[in-house]
Amino acid sequence: MLFDTHMHADFSCDAKMTLPEAAAAAKAAGIGIILTEHWDRYYPTNPDQFLFDLDTYFRQNTPWRSDKVLLGLEVGMQPAAAAEDNKIIKQYPFDEIVASMHCVQGKDIYEERAYDGLSKNEAVEELLRDTLTCLELYKDFDTLGHIDYISRYMPYEDQELYYADHAALWDQVFTKLAGADKALEINTRRLDKPQAVDSLRVLAGRFRELGGRYVTLGSDAHYTEHVGRRLEVAAALAAECDLTIVYFRERQRIIAHA
């Protein structure tokens, strides 16, 4: 069974679905899900916006937990947050930890002003350098989330990422991930765009060349309509790149069969 390993519900302030609704949508689609609520400590615009009570999270969601409905967390990495984040990752019984970059140099890259004074090349370089810094500080995670998140928001005419523009930095990121036996997430949000598929094919293919083996597939759904969206496009991309699709239960890697 395929799993949609990245989505948001009750505990993410920007989501509009509940876990039971997401579970029902997944059941109808014949897939499993992992709930990965936002956990962004020291969020620049609002430090408390993407944090919540983890005891309540487990108390409220455990009745819905099953072998097809798993409970994870999307940790927004920032150097200043690493020590505290590493503690809670160890402290709670998550199925999967998605490590993501939402902030670079203390700026929220969702916001247009984060790019003030930066060329596209400089913005992407900052992101990759910060990713490398964070990957030194965060070791206890399962998959690196949406490497093309910046492409959703960066205010440049061409929003795609090109491996060749920052080959050495991408190689460092992928070598580090592969060496630590981590998975790479193929986020399906932008896979309606052929150019996004092309960009990710090159990046995921390079991850494979550098020893990467595993990918997770995640929709980043915030609404029930998006649960499992374009999972088949991501699965085809994984197959093209000879990458094995996995998900995580109790932090153990499991091979997913389409």
| Binding region for Zn ion (CB under 5 A) | 74, 100, 220
Nearer to Zn ion, 100 or 216 (CB): 100
For the CB of residue 7, give the shortest distance to Zn ion in the complex, in Å. 7
Nearer to Zn ion, 7 or 31 (CB): 7
For the CB of residue 98, give the shortest distance to Zn ion in the complex, in Å. 7
Nearer to Zn ion, 101 or 208 (CB): 101
For the CB of residue 15, give the shortest distance to Zn ion in the complex, in Å. 9
Nearer to Zn ion, 50 or 174 (CB): 50
For the CB of residue 209, give the shortest distance to Zn ion in the complex, in Å. 26
Task: Name the β-bridge partners of 153.
Answer: none
For the CB of residue 149, give the shortest distance to Zn ion in the complex, in Å. 6
Nearer to Zn ion, 74 or 85 (CB): 74
